[in-house]
Chain A
């Protein structure tokens, strides 16, 4: 249950949102010099107005458009989730493998560092060239980022497993496979989870960048943004941005839920 303090925080949060929207709507309607058309204190041409954004949102949701805003959002969410899932699972597996195998880690280290220091945006044209303009290219882009974030965290986690826990397991009769499952994986998971929230944000970044150059066949909110730039339509751009913000929040909350379930043994999740 939400306590009184929590309700006050929520009220403040809503109050701030309303204040920002009201100021935005008002200031973009005030003329700089009275009666001169087109000159505003704050020009809605660049940042649009809440009312105009709502109008465009309604239009973009309607059947009047070929590709509705919901279809675009779905495409973005779908690629983000796939990129995230593939990135997390491969990153986790690779992190465990190298974290428990010093020799292999030493051999592969320069390659990993080199690839990770490459700006991922530079890969976009190449990935597009190989995987085309569709869903797959976007997933691959998200994957290249997520993989490394999860990999490095899991790697650290797998290395810092308490040796005495492994000894205890061995004294209790555990085989190497049982030690992996009952000691190493759960203790590395705590580290992996720390990387999931940044991972989902970065997956979204990878996908949107992919959509920037992916064109209409790639679809998604990134495509709407680029298209709005072409037509200098700030309202459409704002619709896409707000949508992306909402998607980001929902995904981060989802991860937090998952984390508090899977890591419920951690002191911070214990009821006092």
Chain B
């Protein structure tokens, strides 16, 4: 692991939910290195999205420290951090091109440079011909592609992704996995990717943080030993992949049995 970009130190988070407090995350610590792809996996309600939201300053930890590039995360999103939500957050009143241009517009990038960068992003995402389409006419996969390009066009050094492909069908999902891996390889970003889908985590990540059920603690941090570049379709049939899967599945299974 190279330089440490994100560091989470003994963080706990309790939500005041009605009469009693709900502990979502309990004493979690780990680091994310530069240009590393880390996936956080766990059963639903394990606090994995909560951790991501704390990285992005959407919620504050109840206890412990979160450092991004050595700085404590304050009230607003740290600079150079992009976020892709699980929910469709493409602006429905903007066309595809104008959605992708958003981050550049906000930062006051001149129109000519903006147009060039947006055009490049559109080509990269295979959205040619849809520049002037409104999101209502696009499929879920295309909308999520727009959301991804919208985050990437601003060139964030750290990309936080909260189950971005959770609502998509398997075929579209695999296609987007391949695209995401290609983009990540080309752009050398640091990615933290939350998912409940173990195969997705193994396909994409360098390291997998496996969480326990609520209150979420770290059950296991697993290094994925699969070589890169990875071919998402054939990868699933390889022995290495199945070995990785079996290993983590065993640990995750303990968690699931514990719930009964």
Interfacial residues, chain A to chain B (CB-CB below 8 A): 162, 164-165, 167-175, 178, 182-183, 186-187, 263-267, 270
B137 at the interface (CB under 8 A from A): yes
Nearest CB of chain B from residue A185's CB, rounded to whole Å:
10
A187: B residues at CB distance < 8 A:
93
Task: Provide the residues of chain A in CB contact with B137, threshold 8 Å.
Answer: 270
Partner of B83, one of A167, A266, A267: A167
Chain A contact residues: helix, strand, loop or mixed? helix
Counting chain A CB atoms within 10 Å of each CB, the highest count among B56, B89, B93, B151 belongs to B93
Identify the closest chain B residue to A165 (Cβ): B89
- The verdict on B64 contacting chain A, using a C-beta distance below 8 Å, is no
A-contacting 9-mer, from B33-41, B74-82, B114-122, B172-180: B74-82
Whether A266 lies near B151 (C-beta < 8 A) is no
Task: Name the residue in A162, A164, A267 with the highest tally of chain B Cβ atoms < 10 Å from its Cβ.
Answer: A164
Name 26 A/B residue pairs within 8 A (Cβ), A-sorted: A162-B89, A164-B89, A167-B58, A168-B83, A168-B85, A168-B89, A168-B150, A169-B106, A171-B77, A171-B81, A171-B82, A171-B151, A172-B102, A173-B103, A173-B106, A173-B107, A173-B154, A174-B102, A178-B106, A182-B102, A265-B93, A265-B134, A265-B136, A266-B136, A270-B134, A270-B136
- What separation, in Å, do the CA atoms of A76 and B105 have in the docked complex? 44
Q: How far is the CB of A258 from chain B (nearest CB, A)?
A: 15
State whether B76 touches A170 (Cβ < 8 A): yes
Not counting A168-B83, A175-B106, A178-B106, a sample of 8 additional A-B residue pairs whose C-beta atoms are within 8 angstroms of each other reads A164-B87, A167-B83, A167-B85, A167-B89, A171-B151, A173-B106, A186-B91, A265-B93
The answer for the CA separation of A265 and B95 in the assembled complex, in Å, is: 8
Bound CA span A164–B58, Å: 10
- A263 CA / B134 CA spacing, docked (Å): 11
Closest residue of chain B to A266, judged by CB? B136
**Distance, CA A56 to CA B179, complexed state (A):** 74
Chain B: minimal CB distance from A64 (Å): 53
Determine which of B85, B135, B150 lies in contact with A164 in the assembled complex, contact meaning CB atoms within 8 Å.
B85
Q: Are B154 and A172 in contact (CB under 8 A)?
A: yes
A169 cross-chain contacts in B, Cβ below 8 A: 102, 106
Residues of chain B contacted by A263 (CB below 8 angstroms): 93
